[in-house]
Amino acid sequence: MNKGFCAEADIARVMARRDGVPFISLENYTVNAVATATISADTARRYEAFPIDFENDKLVVAMRQPSDLLALDDLRIISGFKIKPVMVTDSELEAAIKNYAQSSVGVEHSAGEEESGVEDEAAGEIRVAEEKPAVQLANVIVAGR
Residue-wise pLDDT tens digits, 112-136: 544 544 444 444 444 445 555 666 6
53 close to 36: Cβ distance less than 8 angstroms: no
Q: Is residue 1 in a domain?
A: no
CA angle 132, 138, 142 (to 5 degrees): 145
What is the distance between the alpha carbons of residues 43 and 61, in angstroms, rounded to a whole number? 12
Residue-wise pLDDT tens digits, 50-96: 999 999 999 999 999 999 999 999 999 999 999 999 999 999 999 99
Q: CATH number, domain at 21? A: 3.30.300.160
Q: Is residue 43 in a domain?
A: yes
Is the pLDDT score of 109 beyond 70? Answer: no
Q: Are residues 143 and 108 in the same domain?
A: no
9 close to 89: Cβ distance less than 8 angstroms: yes
Domain coverage including residue 145: 118-145
What was the pLDDT predicted at 88?
Answer: 95
Is the pLDDT score of 104 beyond 80? Answer: no
